[in-house]
Amino acid sequence: MRRRNLLGHGALLVGVAPTRTGSLQQAPLISIIDDDESVRVATACLLRSLGYRAHTFASADEFLESPHVGEAACLIVDVQMPKTSGIELQRMLRAKGIATPIIFITAFPEERIRAKALDDVSSCMLSKPFDSRVLIECLATALGKTGA
């Protein structure tokens, strides 16, 4: 069985074969918002290998200024970022009526932040470094909620 380190943090994706249900243009778009470039790049590579489209953003503000805010089927968002945090981004999106599922990732897991972050749509919070299999499970759950 081939093992590959896809997230650069010791997480291995073991025995998971990429799936393709259609062309990349029809695949769900996942936006990755994290100030850590290595996390953005590795996560985007993983998602693309699974047949998803992935856009990356270095900050919440960069994402909010992009034309992709309403297009994403799911967001993967770092909790702690300079300027606008992942929790603040979630609050801004919900205030605009955008209920895109969010998978939060954090290097500092705290129960009080978890309680703030997880609403009816956002159902996962992963601690860095995270296991790519758990991310894949969270993504399947999130996309199941949107029908993507």
Mean pLDDT per 10-residue segment, the chain (148 residues): 37 35 69 96 96 96 93 94 93 92 84 61 79 92 73
Contact 121, 139 (CB under 8 A): no
pLDDT at 19: 43
pLDDT at 24: 46
pLDDT at 16: 34
User: Domains along the chain?
Assistant: 26-146 (3.40.50.2300)
Give the tokens for residue 131: 């296991």
Contact 127, 107 (CB under 8 A): yes
**3-class secondary structure, 27:** coil
Q: What is the pTM of this model?
A: 0.77
